[in-house]
Amino acid sequence: MLKIRSLVAAIALASSVSVVHALDALPTKAPAPADNPTTTEKVELGRMLFHDPRLSSTGTVSCASCHNTMAGGEDNRAGSMGVNGQVGGRSAPTVWNSAFNDVQFWDGRAKSLEEQAAGPVTNPIEMGMKSWDDVVARLKAIDGYKHAFHKAFGKNSISKDNATKAIAAYERTLITPNSPYDKYAKGDKSALTEQQVRGMTKAVELGCTSCHSGAAFNGAGTFQKFPVNSNGFFEAKYSFNDDKGLAEVTKKKEDEHLWKVPTLRNIALTAPYFHNGSVKSLDKAVKLMAKLQLGQDLSDEDTADIVAFLDALTGEFPKQKMPTLPATSGTTFNK
């Protein structure tokens, strides 16, 4: 009996090791494009712009309003609130580890962080500025920004291109390494509990990591249809199909309900779940994904194991220093 137990333990260990080899630890530094190398000056400028509500028409909404770097990198809402109390139709994705996404937004319409940073500012529901020309004019009227852009990009450098480059440079510093899973993947077998190892193994067996692959568990730029399996009961309850995903941008039939594969990193902190934020709890989200994507009915025990593993993907958050924003001296942009 002892020999049998030893053999079972050895097989279980080998299985968990093979799982780790199939998945990678999160890098501690994000790659930057050749035309926007990361510098301290850009990061500090980007930090200011990211947290400055004056980039919105009402002076009330910043990037950080929907992507809270004091928490999970989003706002824990089903739909984020923009200017004049308007609510968007999608749940804000986390900004943490977004540098490891090959495409941005839920529908993947932006190919870079720089491109993504330009969008919300002029979206009428989000930050509501009429144009980036208006944004640039506003920044040029603030002496502190003249100095900050000069340090980051050179003289007379305030522009849409440089503003989005600075925001992207800051976002590339928002990395959460050293989760229990990362420590386990690097060889510390005590970093995960037995339940978390079971959950990791089960997630691989089910096929979860065929989509949520790579160091960020995000498929690195891949798109997947959601939901794969139609289910009238769940559709009536959660309205997943109301939003056509990528097809909302491309207007192509074949792109209907295609979505960027979201990261599983820090997913325990980013409820509610799915593109419309219709599912409030992680255990329910896991069961729904198994049913709608993989055609599997998960037991409560397997669900609890997978949730325990997902908890192990919560990394270490670098301490965030809130910027002192450049003053608007003697006037206001708000009406």
Which stretches of the chain are assigned E, i.e. beta strand? 223-225, 258-260
User: How far is residue 96's CA from residue 77's CA, in Å, rounded to a whole number?
Assistant: 16
Which tokens in the block code for residue 21? 């080899």
User: How far is residue 292's CA from residue 290's CA, in Å, rounded to a whole number?
Assistant: 6
Q: Kindly compute the dihedral angle of the four CA atoms of residues 115, 148, 123, 221, in this order, to the nearest 10 degrees.
A: 20
The size of the chain, in residues, is 335
- Smallest Cα–Cα separation from 153: which of 47, 42, 38, 50? 42
Burial category of 5 from C-beta neighbours within 10 Å (exposed 0-12, middle 13-18, buried 19 and up):
exposed
Positive or negative, the Cα torsion across 311, 187, 222, 30? positive
User: How far is residue 86's CA from residue 104's CA, in Å, rounded to a whole number?
Assistant: 22
Cis? peptide before 27, omega within 30° of 0: no
Maximum Cα–Cα distance for the chain, whole Å? 83
- Residues with catalytic annotation? 126
Q: What are phi and psi of 110, to 5 degrees?
A: -105, 135
Q: Kindly compute the dihedral angle of the four CA atoms of residues 149, 150, 156, 160, in this order, to the nearest 10 degrees.
A: -20
User: How far is residue 300's CA from residue 296's CA, in Å, rounded to a whole number?
Assistant: 13
